[in-house]
Amino acid sequence: MPIRAPSIRACGCVLSSGERCQHMIAADRERKARFDQQRPSARQRGYDSKWDKERAAYLKAHPRCVRCPSPATVVDHVTPHKGDRRLFWSRSNWQPLCTPCHSSGKQREERR
């Protein structure tokens, strides 16, 4: 199996293939912190006590993840609502997911 040669980054770090330099990790951390400062809180985005009740009722009626046979723990919006209250509360736009399916596969699809 061939091994790629180490690369030299703009910051001067020499890294093996697939590694990330500490400078890039720090830059990503700063970028994410700036984004989080501008983002409204979950409660401001509509995830309040009313949502908590509706979520619990939906998960009781739909106990299994739609992607795998695991128990569902998350009510996901199939189409991201992006602040649209009608789409947010549309039960036809909801799907039950387990945390691993929501945190990996679904997030990866939405980024595309």
Domain range for residue 17? 7-38
Shared-domain flag, residues 99 and 78: yes
Give the Cα separation of 23 and 72 in Å (integer). Answer: 38
Instruction: Look up the pTM and report it.
Output: 0.67
pLDDT in tens, 2-33: 678 888 888 888 888 878 889 889 999 999 99
> Based on the structure, what is the number of domains in the chain?
2
Give the Cα separation of 79 and 88 in Å (integer). Answer: 9
CB under 8 Å, gap of 24 or more: what pairs does 80-83 form?
Answer: 80/110, 83/45
- Whether 81 maps to a domain, the answer reads yes
- Indicate whether 107 pLDDT > 80: no
Shared-domain flag, residues 11 and 53: no
pLDDT in tens, 47-99: 899 999 999 999 999 999 998 989 999 999 999 888 889 999 999 999 999 99
- Indicate whether 39 pLDDT > 60: yes
